[in-house]
């Protein structure tokens, strides 16, 4: 009998994978690897809190609104605290910007070489109904000299300057998906061991797909070009799939092929999603997986941010579907009365 069959390998852990891949990063001195581990640690803690939220009264609204004007959930607050604390204690980050905070967060780590933009808990409106939610993060190398506090210039970098980006999806299983610019890899959390294991190596998004994801509940506010593209999707017999958690919708389309859209509307001419906390991050990931992301006209990661909480229209997913959406949007952008971006 082969004794090895009694104890089969459990797989490659996230920590081991990060160490092996460290040489892929041009500044491979260990700081980025440690930073990714800090994020993974916070994700494990948040995963624990989410899984027991119905038992210890941490579900539901917290009682105020965030900078985006959205109702804050208790788990929003908890996730924000957990990730900020992990990043501050890790020592590699000089400044954090969070979707939940109006201003930059100075960590006190003046020697830190990195800036992190984070949406601590995306899809919080779905918390109480047990629908998948997530964390979205991106990492930039600071441009100001070390030895002092981070600056707004460090934070307001275009997405092309990201050195790493990823998300955590808390669903039927908890997964961490990330890129450092050398492909996309996914890791599934094994709670009994407390480790993330490589489960989805070298993720590649299909070039096309038959899924479109958009909130058709606001269709009365769609611009003519958006309405025409949605009709095109229906004419092609595409399946409509919309969860309402950006991470969950994006994750499904990343694996199966499709397009996610949150376009400019008559009510929100600049779009709804945040450039720094959501769009740039997922754009980096999808491009590394072979897909595409744009505001309907230009590449998402080439948009120059002007404020910490800038919004932008968002089309992301399989290359052929995004390019088809851009064809429909072209008439809108050529019209002087089109919504400003």
Report residue 340's pLDDT band, with 50, 70 and 90 as the boundaries. very low
Task: Kindly list the domain boundaries of the chain, sorted by start residue.
Answer: 14-200, 211-334
Q: What is the chain's mean pLDDT, rounded?
A: 89
- pLDDT tens for 85-126 read 999 999 999 999 999 999 999 999 999 999 999 999 998 778
pLDDT (0 to 100) of residue 69: 53
- What tokens does 298 get? 């230009």
Q: Is the model's pLDDT at 328 over the cut of 80?
A: yes
Q: How far is CA 34 from CA 41, 143, 316, in A?
A: 10, 20, 30
251 or 76: which carries more pLDDT confidence? 251
What's the gap between Cα 153 and its chain centre?
21
CA distance 145 to 142: 8
Alpha-carbon gap, residue 233 to 230, rounded angstroms: 5
- Nearest-10 Cα torsion for 141, 144, 146, 148: -130
Q: Residues 120, 98: contact at Cβ < 8 Å? A: yes
Q: Which residues, 6 or more positions from 48, have their beta carbon under 8 angstroms from its beta carbon? A: none
Instruction: Note the CATH number of domain 14-200.
Output: 3.30.540.10
User: Is 258 within any annotated ligand binding site?
Assistant: no
pLDDT band with cut points at 50, 70 and 90 for residue 27: low
Is 148 annotated as contributing to ligand binding?
no
Quick one: which H or E segment has residue 332? helix 319-334
Whole-angstrom distance, CA of residue 257 vs CA of residue 200:
15
Whether residue 202 is annotated as binding a ligand: the answer is no
122 is in an annotated binding site: yes
Contacts of 76 (CB under 8 A, 6+ apart): 62, 66, 100, 120, 121, 124
pLDDT mean over 150-155: 97
Give the pLDDT score at 335.
60
Number of C-alpha atoms within 13 angstroms, CB side, residue 228?
Answer: 12
119 touches 99 (CB < 8 A): yes
For residue 176, the surrounding DSSP H or E stretch is strand 174-179
Q: Tell me the per-residue pLDDT of 295-312, one tens digit each, with 9 for 90 and over.
A: 999 999 999 999 999 999
- Region 321-328: mean pLDDT is 97
What is the per-residue burial (b if ≥16 Cβ within 10 Å, else e) of 136-167? bbbbbbbeeeeeeebbeebbbbbbeebbbbbb
Instruction: Give the architecture (CATH level 2) of 211-334.
Output: 3-Layer(aba) Sandwich (3.40)
Helix (H) or strand (E) holding 324: helix 319-334
Say whether 124 counts as a known binding-site residue: yes
**pTM of the entire predicted model:** 0.91
With a cut of 80, say whether residue 6 has pLDDT above it: no
Residue 123 in marked binding region: yes
């Amino acid at each position: 009998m082969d004794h090895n069959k009694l104890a089969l390998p459990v797989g490659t852990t996230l920590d081991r994978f990060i160490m092996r891949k460290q040489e892929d990063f041009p500044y491979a001195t260990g700081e980025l690897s440690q930073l990714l581990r800090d994020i993974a640690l916070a994700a494990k803690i948040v995963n624990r809190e989410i899984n027991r939220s119905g038992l210890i009264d941490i579900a539901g609204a917290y009682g105020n609104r965030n900078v985006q004007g959205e109702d804050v959930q208790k788990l929003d607050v908890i996730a924000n605290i957990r990730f900020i604390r992990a990043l501050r204690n890790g020592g590699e980050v000089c400044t954090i910007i969070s979707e939940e905070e109006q201003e930059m967060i100075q960590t006190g780590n003046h020697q830190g070489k990195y800036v992190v933009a984070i949406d601590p808990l995306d899809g919080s409106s779905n918390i109480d109904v047990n629908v998948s939610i997530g964390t979205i993060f991106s990492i930039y190398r600071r441009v100001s000299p070390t030895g002092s506090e981070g600056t707004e210039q460090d934070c307001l970098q275009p997405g092309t300057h990201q050195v790493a980006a990823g998300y955590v999806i808390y669903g039927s299983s908890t997964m961490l998906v990330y890129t450092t610019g050398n492909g996309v890899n996914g890791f599934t959390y094994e709670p009994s061991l407390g480790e993330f294991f490589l489960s989805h190596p070298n993720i590649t998004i299909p070039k096309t797909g038959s899924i479109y994801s958009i909130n058709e509940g606001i269709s009365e506010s769609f611009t003519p070009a958006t309405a025409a593209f949605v009709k095109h999707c229906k004419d092609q017999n595409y399946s409509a799939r919309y969860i309402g958690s950006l991470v969950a919708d994006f994750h499904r389309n990343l694996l199966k092929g499709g397009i996610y859209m949150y376009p400019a509307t008559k009510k929100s001419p600049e779009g709804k999603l945040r450039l720094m906390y959501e769009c740039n991050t997922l754009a980096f990931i999808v491009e590394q997986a072979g897909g595409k992301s744009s505001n309907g006209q230009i590449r998402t990661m080439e948009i120059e941010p002007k404020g910490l909480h800038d919004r932008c229209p968002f089309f992301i997913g399989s290359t052929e579907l995004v390019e088809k959406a851009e064809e429909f949007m072209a008439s809108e952008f050529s019209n002087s009365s089109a919504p400003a971006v």
